[in-house]
Chains A and B, each alone.
Chain A
Amino acid sequence: MFDRLSDGFNNVFRKLSGQGSISEKNITDAMAEVRTALLEADVHYDVVKAFCDEVVADVLGREVTKSLKPGQEMIGIVHRRLVALLGGDPDADPQEALKTLGTDRGIMKVSPPPTVVMMCGLQGSGKTTTCGKLAAMLKKQGRKTMVCAADLQRPAAIEQLHTVVEHVNKQFTQGPTVLFHGEPDKAAEYGKAVNVAVKVCQRALDEARQQGVDVLILDTAGRLHVNDELMTELHLVNRAMMPHHIFLVVDAMTGQDAVNSAKAFHERLTVDGVILTKFDSDTRGGAALSVKQVTGAPIRYIGVGEKLDQIEPFHPERMAGRILGMGDVVSLVEKAQQEVSEEDAAKLSEKMARGEMTMDDFLSQLRTLRRMGSMKQLLGLLPGVGSMLKDADVDEGQLKRIEAMIQSMTAEERAHPKIIHAPRRRRIAEGSGSEQPAVGQLIKQFDAINKMAKSMAGAGGAGRIAAARQMASAGGMPGMGLPMMKTKGSTKQAKRGVKQRKKRKH
């Protein structure tokens, strides 16, 4: 059942929290799980190793073993270190972090203009799309921007960028029109247009100056870091243009190799910012940590979709949680805020913390969750429960069946599901047109979720505590109670409503 990376960490969390004191051995064991979680999140092997060693040293140094709640303290240390490594301030108040959302230092201003921004990265990482996103962002800020097509290699790359710029101008009317510089006649087959890019960029700069452009963005061809010829070309563009910003564009789904390519680009160009794309996928995004470690450059933005406004400032807090599989709590809270009133949420989360959630609360959460859109996306963001359930699909029919069962309960039964014994189960099953085991299942899992919610609210490392605090005050935990999923050994229920992913071989 626990077959995803975050779960190992959650396991440690559960094992350790509640224990009065732990030994050095416990710490090493726990770190083994942290290690697995990080590796499965695609953080590079060496980065993981160094990280774990440091955490162990830190934990032992602080005599966490003698602390009252060693597990929580330890998880706090892991989380804080991760936030710091990702360039964040681990001491920042999460409430403050929420407020500063959406602000960014942006693209520097220079005199005389233009500010030159160069994009680089592997093939297909998202450079061209990101050029469009940055241009759209700058346009909205009222800055006159030109985009230059310096990828002469990938077929139709110039045309692609041109279209992207047209889309930007059509979709975002506010601000000055984004200009495009492209020389389609210079495009050539692979390997035949090397070094032509430098000239194209220089002509773009001339034009930009004439037109009084404020920011010039250079979209370069994707290249492998081991391709000397193309890396040299990039170096030449760099020397000729002396860009003010060099952004390395990295696919967030990248694995261990992120370290190698980032290192090579950084050695050649001295990257000053990283943009991670395709974060709308369900990747844990450990590459973020690897790239940050190797370049030392801040992660500036993340791409969260193919559309031109789908770019966001990077948040170390969120990323640390995502990598550890603790759930991207901040995002969750934001989503939740749109759906649930603060008051209701606060009430509910208090109830949940006491383990007093009722079937009615549960049902209303289910409905909220349906409204909150893509279930899967959301489930992945949830700690604990999310990791248990995200591999399951809940369809409308499933929800209806659960609804029917809950509606067949008496008010008392809904408030105290514990009193539902066999005869009541039979009645509920008959009343809702379902089978008895299904009702039993519902009650059992409701109970499990309730217990878990309670233990989660009662426990927590720095990040977790912060998250819980934040949720209680800001958005509540509307997603915590989730519909009945198949657990091990409940095949019947699974066949009826829930499509469970094929079980992996081990």
Chain B
Amino acid sequence: MGLFKSVVSKLRKGLDRTRETFVAGLRSMLVGRKLDEALIEELESRLIQSDVGVRTTTALITQIRADYKSGQLARGEDVLEFLKAELKSRWPEADRTLHFADAGPTVILVTGVNGAGKTTSIAKLCSQLRNEGRTVLLGACDTFRAGAVRQLEIWAERLGVEVVKGQQGGDPAAVAFDACSAAVSRGVDVLILDTAGRLHTQDPLMRQLTKIRSVATKKIEGAPHETLLVLDATAGQNALRQAEEFGKAAGVTGIFLAKLDGTAKGGIVVAIREATNIPVKFIGVGETPDDIEPFDPERFVEAMFAE
């Protein structure tokens, strides 16, 4: 059954053309070209179009130009390698894995702005953790948006896990409290808390997030062990503000970069890493629970320059 499932999903993956970006080798606009001013300008345009942002792009381009002038970089491939090495050094492996509790349930708090992909990403995480043999419980702390609890429930039914939920319009911190209690009493390995989408400019809602967090901390030592910010890969420079504000209010420990299966590149995470040090841990590449992959800086760079 498990084997069959993975074969089917591999097949499906092979068919999905958008996914190729992250699976197969990429043809890059940089390969086989001599480095010159024209290519450097093209490179700059590509970085900007990947949402890396003017400041970070300028910093990278300045460095590339200097290395080009000193003869260290001569071919397009060199630049690709340079950028890969650069990003890899910014994202050491250890930064990209999930933190688990030493003992007792691990709590993962999932946050982000409206419609970013939180609930779907939770389904993906849940599926992955279950595949690793862990038991999972979900907490439906989005008590606000119409249909939000039901959406999480449907995922839970499909994935065969349970959901702790509260009243529509009720206090999300109370749901978090109940979910933490249930996680402890049932001895599950991982509890994932879904939250309502909120804009980082909404102070009361950001404080509510802080409250959910502290409820978890009180119930379970060291919780939340991981606080993920789900970012929409199509987001532009505003994502930097999101990372900063959610970082402050919720102590974000990692980014889940959703919706990378389109043409958006999600380059803003580079600027975010620079400004806030928050690492990217996972990427979302579709709407099913299998559409999750660990973040790989090298492939991320390749995708940026893919043709």
A154 contacts across to B, CB distance below 8 A:
151, 287
Binary interface encoding of chain B residues 60-75 relative to chain A, with 1 for a CB under 8 A from any of its CBs, else 0 = 0000000000000000
Which residues of A153-190 have CB atoms within 8 Å of chain B's CB atoms? 153-157, 159-164, 167, 189-190
Nearest CB of B to A222, in Å: 9
Nearest CB of B to A275, in Å: 14
Q: Is the interface of A mostly helix, strand, loop or mixed?
A: loop
Interface residue from A162, A226, A501 paired with B262 (Cβ < 8 Å)? A226
Nearest CB of A to B248, in Å: 8
Confirm or deny: B131 has a beta carbon within 8 angstroms of a beta carbon on chain A.
Answer: no
Give the complex CA separation of A330 and B153 in angstroms: 44
Confirm or deny: B59 has a beta carbon within 8 angstroms of a beta carbon on chain A.
Answer: yes
Give the complex CA separation of A504 and B148 in angstroms: 36
Interface residue from B45, B145, B288 paired with A306 (Cβ < 8 Å)? B145
Q: Are A224 and B18 interface neighbours, CB within 8 A?
A: yes
Confirm or deny: B77 has a beta carbon within 8 angstroms of a beta carbon on chain A.
Answer: no
Given A122-B262, A155-B155, A167-B146: A505 touches B275 (CB 8 Å cut-off): yes
Nearest CB of B to A454, in Å: 31
A28 contacts across to B, CB distance below 8 A:
none
Q: Are B116 and A156 interface neighbours, CB within 8 A?
A: no
Q: Are A255 and B268 interface neighbours, CB within 8 A?
A: yes
Q: Which residue of B is nearest A157, CB measured? A: B147
Nearest CB of A to B15, in Å: 10
A225 contacts across to B, CB distance below 8 A:
262-263
Given A160-B145, A163-B146, A282-B241: A255 touches B17 (CB 8 Å cut-off): no
Which residues of A250-277 have CB atoms within 8 Å of chain B's CB atoms? 251, 253-258, 260-261
Binary interface encoding of chain B residues 97-139 relative to chain A, with 1 for a CB under 8 A from any of its CBs, else 0 = 0000000000000000111110000000000000000000000
Q: Are A278 and B199 interface neighbours, CB within 8 A?
A: yes
Give the complex CA separation of A44 and B46 in angstroms: 11
Interface residue from B50, B113, B154, B274 paired with A156 (Cβ < 8 Å)? B154
Nearest CB of A to B305, in Å: 14
Give the complex CA separation of A280 and B274 in angstroms: 26
Confirm or deny: A374 has a beta carbon within 8 angstroms of a beta carbon on chain B.
Answer: yes
Given A123-B259, A163-B146: A257 touches B18 (CB 8 Å cut-off): no
Give the complex CA separation of A30 and B249 in angstroms: 38
Given A225-B263, A278-B114: A255 touches B237 (CB 8 Å cut-off): yes
Comparing A18-26, A134-142, A283-291, A361-369, the segment that makes contact with chain B is: A283-291
Confirm or deny: A40 has a beta carbon within 8 angstroms of a beta carbon on chain B.
Answer: yes
Interface residue from B232, B274, B286 paired with A124 (Cβ < 8 Å)? B232
Confirm or deny: A493 has a beta carbon within 8 angstroms of a beta carbon on chain B.
Answer: no
Interface residue from A44, A163, A256 paired with B147 (Cβ < 8 Å)? A163
B151 contacts across to A, CB distance below 8 A:
154-157, 160
B261 contacts across to A, CB distance below 8 A:
224, 226
A123 contacts across to B, CB distance below 8 A:
115, 117, 259, 287
Confirm or deny: A36 has a beta carbon within 8 angstroms of a beta carbon on chain B.
Answer: yes
Nearest CB of B to A273, in Å: 20
Interface residue from A160, A253, A260, A377 paired with B235 (Cβ < 8 Å)? A253
Confirm or deny: B55 has a beta carbon within 8 angstroms of a beta carbon on chain A.
Answer: yes
Q: Which residue of B is nearest A3, CB measured? A: B55
A124 contacts across to B, CB distance below 8 A:
114-117, 232, 259
B147 contacts across to A, CB distance below 8 A:
156-157, 159-163
B48, B158, B287 pick with most chain A CB within 10 angstroms: B287
Given A123-B117, A164-B146, A278-B114: A36 touches B234 (CB 8 Å cut-off): no
Confirm or deny: B53 has a beta carbon within 8 angstroms of a beta carbon on chain A.
Answer: yes
Confirm or deny: A45 has a beta carbon within 8 angstroms of a beta carbon on chain B.
Answer: yes
Given A122-B262, A286-B236: A226 touches B201 (CB 8 Å cut-off): no
Nearest CB of B to A200, in Å: 17
Nearest CB of A to B284, in Å: 10
Q: Are A261 and B146 interface neighbours, CB within 8 A?
A: no
Q: Are A284 and B146 interface neighbours, CB within 8 A?
A: no
Which residues of B259-300 have CB atoms within 8 Å of chain A's CB atoms? 259, 261-265, 268, 274-276, 286-288
Q: Are B54 and A36 interface neighbours, CB within 8 A?
A: yes
Binary interface encoding of chain B residues 37-58 relative to chain A, with 1 for a CB under 8 A from any of its CBs, else 0 = 0000000010011110111000
Give the complex CA separation of A39 and B235 in angstroms: 13
B225 contacts across to A, CB distance below 8 A:
none
Interface residue from A164, A256, A278 paired with B236 (Cβ < 8 Å)? A256
Interface residue from A39, A122, A189, A227 paired with B48 (Cβ < 8 Å)? A39
Q: Are A159 and B238 interface neighbours, CB within 8 A?
A: no
Q: Are B263 and A278 interface neighbours, CB within 8 A?
A: no
Nearest CB of A to B48, in Å: 5
Give the complex CA separation of A148 and B244 in angstroms: 39
Give the complex CA separation of A257 and B304 in angstroms: 12
Confirm or deny: B203 has a beta carbon within 8 angstroms of a beta carbon on chain A.
Answer: yes
Q: Are A40 and B239 interface neighbours, CB within 8 A?
A: no
Q: Are B53 and A281 interface neighbours, CB within 8 A?
A: no
Give the complex CA separation of A189 and B290 in angstroms: 13
Binary interface encoding of chain A residues 372-391 relative to chain B, with 1 for a CB under 8 A from any of its CBs, else 0 = 00101100000000000000
Q: Are B236 and A287 interface neighbours, CB within 8 A?
A: yes
Nearest CB of A to B291, in Å: 9
Nearest CB of A to B103, in Å: 33
Q: Are B262 and A505 interface neighbours, CB within 8 A?
A: no
Given A36-B54, A155-B150: A253 touches B113 (CB 8 Å cut-off): yes
Interface residue from B203, B237, B244 paired with A42 (Cβ < 8 Å)? B237
Q: Are A155 and B236 interface neighbours, CB within 8 A?
A: no
A283 contacts across to B, CB distance below 8 A:
236-238
Q: Are B263 and A226 interface neighbours, CB within 8 A?
A: yes
Binary interface encoding of chain A residues 115-131 relative to chain B, with 1 for a CB under 8 A from any of its CBs, else 0 = 00000001111100000
Which residues of B209-266 have CB atoms within 8 Å of chain A's CB atoms? 232-239, 241, 244, 259, 261-265
Binary interface encoding of chain A residues 337-374 relative to chain B, with 1 for a CB under 8 A from any of its CBs, else 0 = 00000000000000000000000000000000000001
Confirm or deny: A418 has a beta carbon within 8 angstroms of a beta carbon on chain B.
Answer: no
Q: Which residue of B is nearest A187, CB measured? A: B154
Binary interface encoding of chain A residues 204-237 relative to chain B, with 1 for a CB under 8 A from any of its CBs, else 0 = 0000000000000000000011111000000000
Confirm or deny: B96 has a beta carbon within 8 angstroms of a beta carbon on chain A.
Answer: no
Q: Are A377 and B201 interface neighbours, CB within 8 A?
A: yes
Q: Are A190 and B237 interface neighbours, CB within 8 A?
A: no
Q: Are B51 and A257 interface neighbours, CB within 8 A?
A: yes
Can you list 19 contacts pairing A with B, beta carbon distance less than 8 Å? A42-B238, A123-B117, A124-B116, A155-B151, A156-B151, A156-B154, A157-B151, A159-B150, A167-B146, A225-B263, A226-B261, A228-B17, A251-B234, A251-B235, A255-B239, A258-B234, A261-B263, A281-B238, A282-B201
Known: A42-B238, A251-B235. 4 other contacts (CB 8 A): A40-B54, A45-B49, A125-B115, A281-B113
Q: Give chain A's interface residues, CB within 8 Å of chain B.
A: 5, 36, 39-42, 44-45, 122-126, 153-157, 159-164, 167, 189-191, 224-228, 251, 253-258, 260-261, 278, 280-284, 286-287, 306, 374, 376-377, 501-502, 504-506
3 nearest A-B pairs in the assembled complex, by CB-CB distance: A255-B236, A124-B115, A160-B147
Q: Give chain B's interface residues, CB within 8 Å of chain A.
A: 17-18, 45, 48-51, 53-55, 59, 113-117, 144-148, 150-151, 153-155, 158, 199-201, 203, 232-239, 241, 244, 259, 261-265, 268, 274-276, 286-288
